Amino acid sequence: MKVKLLSLFMMLLFVAGCSNDTRTKTDITDRSESAEQLAQQPQSIIGGLKISIDKQEINQKNTEDGKRVLHTFTLTGENMGSVATGLGSIDFLLETDTGEQIELDHTMAMFGDEIAVGETLTGNVSFELEEGQEARKLIYHTGEEQLAEWEVKSK
């Protein structure tokens, strides 16, 4: 029993020791490109979870308060780790050019679930900006900790 616990502890230390600074910065482009270009899309690996930005769309959204700009990202999470992990729309923020962090638009389609080892999960996250606000980066965070960011297009 002690040998099993020691082995498990050593494995956890090895996995923890293999992780580097997980903050990354990449660019997002529209995903209406060829398969070769799609393979070069931005991705980050955070604690065994590979997150890829598959597509960014910018559309107009009409609300009771007037027109808004809707930024929608299609994301894929692949669990490359050794334990199940969760991922969902709630884990993302959109930062504007003024540094304001916008939470997801709860009126749009969202995703979230646990991802088993070796499995993937794809879904959308949308953010509503006022006319004149410029999107700067998509941020992946858990709790108060920012784990990755991607530069985004604003027009």
Instruction: Enumerate domains of the chain plus CATH numbers.
Output: 22-151 (2.60.40.1240)
The whole-number pLDDT of residue 37 equals 38
pLDDT at res. 16: 39
What contacts 106, CB < 8 A, 6 or more positions away?
Answer: none
Strand order in the sheet with 135-142: 25-27, 145-151, 135-142, 92-96, 101-102
DSSP summary character for residue 89: G
Confidence at 18, pLDDT banded by 50, 70, 90: very low
Task: Say what the pTM is.
Answer: 0.71
Q: What residues does 92 pair with on adjacent strands? A: 140
Highest mean pLDDT among 15-19, 50-54, 143-147: 50-54
pLDDT tens sequence across 61-119: 887 877 899 999 999 999 999 999 999 999 999 999 999 999 999 999 999 999 999 99
Q: Cα dist. 96→31, 86, 130 in Å? A: 22, 26, 11
Contact between 45 and 20 under an 8 Å Cβ cutoff? The reply is no
